């Protein structure tokens, strides 16, 4: 082949014909293709700290924080960050964590190491319910502080009117109790965030979509009428964790207790499908809103209620799960959106990316952008919306009559909720925003002291004649 022929065989690609676009150009194309833009009339904030993604529970543990990496990469690949206010939240302080949790428990979390666990196992001691479900790993306290801090930051943005919908996918760890870990959860970021909301909102509705009962949040607000908890979950008292959340678990039994009838549960059997789940959700949430009249809503979007989840047993697809978030969003109330369970990471990431788009009011194309990092994890279809209802499908054991009876039971409980609940607490928590400002001042003072000490040590370094003695 002559040199001329080689030259003629190569045609330089014209603008628009080459695939060698920069990442920014590819993301811009996705933004345009999907019509992504800042919502009109409301603001969405996104709270994410990449340090959380680095945590590791252990090779055989079902909880995989790197599902957050996948989620954030999809959000960025579509360009949804361009339509939100994105924040890098700081870690929660010891004082902020102890606004709900006991000091000795948080002190324990701050000091414990993996070596300590080996010592306990040798003695047969497992303090604070630590063990296989809640292992001790390197960075445990940092992990708790980071995901809790993100939920607190999101709640503050709502109370400061800086945001109307605030998202923290690293949060939603709803099983943690006041003085012990439970169900992969160590600190209850949801409770901490709701306490922050209660400084400004007289009534908060908490909705839990996790396949497991939201027992930790329910327990925290068991005796108050300022928070109504509503959990939709698989229920089996003896064979499914945590074994709580039956239809008769409605709060304190004595009607004189303010929390009576303010803990509502929707116990489900295996295999509920899209249509039944959406209809049931609307049929129970609608009356709760009408009767309780909350001024803010928190929704936990556990991804283990999806079909095919490693620990789940429902047949729900991503868009059906998202339809519940959309219904809640359309209520027009300040909304805190958090993550939760979900043990098939690629599907959890798809779900939370989709629900981010729901919060933005954007409908995404199903094909994942080809520049999405780790796209091979979504093979072979590489789509945002795989058919999950047929993956490891369970027979639907929720008859229409059973679901109607649940709705009737919820409506019956709501009859006891008389008018607007009280707006006073026996103990009003301190303003965590003020705590934050104080902590930030202390950090700044420590930084200034370090700089002052460094300048003293370096004073005269390199000056003429310094060593001429």
Residues with Cβ within 8 Å of residue 305, at least 6 apart in sequence = 209, 210, 211, 232, 233, 312, 314, 316, 321, 341
Q: Which runs of E-coded beta strand occur in 235-387?
A: 263-268, 296-300, 335-338
Which residue in the list 174, 175, 201, 213 is annotated as catalytic? 175
CA–CA separation, 100 vs 216, rounded Å?
12
DSSP run (H or E) holding 87: strand 85-87
CA–CA separation, 71 vs 65, rounded Å?
10
Ramachandran bin of 372, using left for φ above 0, alpha for ψ from -120 to 50, beta for the remaining angles = beta
CA–CA separation, 307 vs 310, rounded Å?
9
Q: In what order do the strands lie in the sheet with 44-47?
A: 85-87, 44-47, 165-168, 335-338, 296-300, 204-208, 227-234, 263-268
**By three-state DSSP, how is residue 269 classified?**
coil
DSSP run (H or E) holding 228: strand 227-234
Q: Is 175 a catalytic residue?
A: yes
List active site positions: 175
């Amino acid at each position: 082949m002559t040199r001329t022929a080689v030259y003629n065989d190569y045609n330089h690609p014209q603008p628009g014909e080459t695939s060698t676009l920069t990442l920014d150009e590819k993301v811009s194309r996705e933004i345009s293709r999907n019509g992504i833009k800042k919502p009109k009339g409301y603001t969405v904030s996104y709270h994410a700290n990449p340090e959380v993604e680095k945590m590791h529970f252990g090779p055989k543990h079902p909880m995989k924080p790197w599902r957050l990496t996948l989620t954030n990469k999809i959000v960025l690949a579509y360009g949804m960050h361009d339509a939100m206010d994105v924040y890098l939240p700081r870690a929660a302080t010891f004082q902020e964590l102890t606004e709900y949790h006991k000091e000795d428990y948080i002190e324990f979390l701050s000091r414990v190491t993996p070596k300590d666990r080996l010592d306990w196992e040798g003695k047969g001691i497992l303090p604070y319910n630590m063990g296989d479900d809640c292992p001790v790993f390197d960075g445990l306290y940092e992990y708790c502080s980071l995901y809790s801090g993100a939920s607190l930051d999101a709640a503050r943005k709502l109370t400061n009117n800086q945001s109307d919908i605030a998202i923290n996918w690293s949060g939603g760890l709803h099983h943690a109790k006041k003085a012990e870990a439970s169900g992969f959860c160590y600190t209850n970021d949801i409770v901490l965030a709701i306490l922050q909301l209660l400084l400004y909102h007289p009534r908060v509705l908490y909705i839990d979509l996790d396949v497991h009962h939201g027992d930790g949040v329910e327990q925290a607000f068991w005796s108050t009428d300022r928070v109504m908890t509503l959990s939709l979950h698989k229920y089996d008292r003896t064979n499914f964790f945590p074994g709580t959340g039956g239809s008769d678990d409605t709060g304190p039994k004595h009607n004189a207790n303010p929390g009576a009838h303010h803990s509502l549960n929707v116990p489900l059997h295996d295999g509920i499908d899209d249509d039944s789940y959406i209809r049931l959700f609307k049929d129970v949430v609608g009356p709760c809103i009408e009767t309780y009249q909350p001024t803010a809503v928190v929704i936990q979007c556990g991804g283990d209620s999806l079909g095919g989840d490693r620990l789940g047993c429902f047949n729900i697809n991503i868009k059906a799960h998202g339809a519940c978030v959309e219904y809640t969003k359309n209520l027009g109330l300040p909304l805190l959106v958090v993550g939760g369970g979900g043990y098939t990471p690629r599907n959890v990431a798809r779900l939370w990316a989709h629900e981010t788009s729901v919060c933005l009011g954007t409908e995404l194309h199903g094909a994942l952008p080809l520049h999405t990092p780790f796209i091979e994890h979504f093979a072979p279809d590489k789509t945002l919306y795989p058919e999950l209802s047929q993956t490891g499908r369970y027979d639907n054991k929720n008859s229409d009559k059973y679901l109607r009876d649940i709705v009737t039971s919820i409506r019956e409980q709501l009859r006891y909720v008389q008018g607007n609940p009280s707006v006073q607490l026996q103990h009003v928590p301190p303003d965590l925003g003020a705590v934050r400002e104080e902590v930030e001042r202390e950090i700044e003072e420590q930084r200034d002291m370090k700089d002052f000490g460094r300048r003293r040590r370096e004073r005269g370094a390199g000056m003429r004649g310094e060593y001429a003695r």
